[in-house]
Structure 1
């Protein structure tokens, strides 16, 4: 090539990016894009995995919780208790009546009552002093005549179902044993109100009533009469007046207990009412719940006697006066409760 040729030809400078830098930039962009895409995909995969694991864990926890609840429910249904029973063989009863010897035999062969659910409160002797009717043994029975006319505590030794058990049989048991206990502690018991009414009408318990009635002299307390009754399987409690019902520890509790009933509500079980009476002066006696609260002394003493199922009980001197004041002139005509 000549000098002129060399000078006449335009001088072309080499573009440094034309062949080498452009490919490098494209490759870098692709690398960044792939990195971002991989990261996004990884995040998506991890997210999906977390969601799946969370769902699995939630399902597992739900299943475990349901299983635990079912197990707890099953355990609760299986949990039961039996109270420490009054031992009839070691109890000092105040009578040699045949009933007590037969009851001792029957109770020795009878299983302890078993309580479940909210009835388990009946196993707790610590709660007894804090509860009234709630601590009474749930008992059901018949109140119809003539089936329950002449119902007696002796019936309880043979009967096993509420279909043939009479309320009045339980009331007769309460009446006799509480009366004997009051006599033992010199509280001068007398039968009054409905118990006297049944005695005067036909010499028995009124079949359609829920309670039986005794009046007493002196002061009652839990450390004396209350402790003695508790040892025999009774619940002694104060609600306006002193009252007594059958407790879960009674020797016949397994025979009497009705597990289908709820915790006992007030006045919904056989029970005994105790009414304080007092000689105010030479002419007047007072008695809780009696008419205007006072009776002439000569209508009260000397006491007379009435019979209930063949057993003798003291009562007021003039039963007719007492009953007429309480129930009117037609007191001999039965008027079943609604």
Structure 2
């Protein structure tokens, strides 16, 4: 099936829980869906030689609890090849895998598409017939933040980027730094502590907040 150039209305409205008691192992939880989202995205990006890093709230959950934050709605990643990601090839392949790449509120996002072909881990979820019309209608999705190269450190030869929404904060990324989520490692920024302090304050390890980007 070819990708249809429509927006959020092509997404499924999934019913899942944001309870603070939720885990990525409970099939009724949104965190469960988001973990599978991330695992799929990691494999998909690698198969296409697309680089990405886990950032913002997803990095916060990984550092603080080594898992997905139970009450978050999304996975946050920074990506580096906008032209290829938005090609018809990638969009169609995502669509055929049960996902939908769309634009909303000034950025790219991925959701589970309507009438999706995902049968191995989404079988317990209730998919409503009514199409979503605003971001608040979506229970679980991926936020894709563009990363633009700003400079290269002449000593370490590590590239330095700015990530969408953080234009005043420079982020060194060597693509070698990893973070653990549920026992699996994913690439992230080099300056993890500084990244989290900048976005969530210096009490990010203990202060509970719903401001997870």
TM-score by length of structure 1 reads 0.54
CA shift, 1:187, in A, is 1.7
Deviations 1:217-276 (A, max 9, x none): 1122141322221111101112221110111223236542333x7422313321101111
Equivalent residue in structure 2 for 1:197, among 43, 60, 81:
60
Identify unmatched segments of 5+ residues in structure 1. Answer: 1-83, 85-124, 157-164
Secondary structure of 1:281's counterpart equals: strand
Instruction: Indicate how the Cα distance of structure 1 residues 225 and 326 shifts in structure 2: closer, same or farther if over 3 A, else same.
Output: same
Q: As a proportion of its length, which structure holds more strand?
A: 2
Secondary structure of 2:42's counterpart equals: helix
Identify unmatched segments of 5+ residues in structure 2. Answer: 154-159
Greater relative contact order, per chain length (Cα 8 Å cut-off, separation 6+): 2
Q: How does 1:123-142 map to 2 (within 5 A)?
A: 128-130=4-6, 132-142=7-17
Task: Answer yes or no: is the 8 Å Cα contact 1:233–1:249 preserved in 2.
Answer: yes
Equivalent residue in structure 2 for 1:221, among 86, 101, 104:
86
Hey, what does 1:231 align to over in structure 2? 96
- Give the Cα separation in 2 of the matches to 1:255 and 1:234: 17
RMSD: 2.1
- Give the Cα separation in 2 of the matches to 1:336 and 1:238: 23
Number of residues of Structure 1 aligned to a counterpart in Structure 2:
196
CA shift, 1:296, in A, is 4.7
Instruction: Say whether residues 1:311 and 2:184 are aligned partners.
Output: yes
Hey, what does 1:274 align to over in structure 2? 144
Hey, what does 1:169 align to over in structure 2? 32
TM-score by length of structure 2 reads 0.83
Question: Which protein shows a greater Rg?
Answer: 1
Instruction: Say whether residues 1:320 and 2:172 are aligned partners.
Output: no
Hey, what does 2:116 align to over in structure 1? 249
Task: Answer yes or no: is the 8 Å Cα contact 1:218–1:278 preserved in 2.
Answer: no
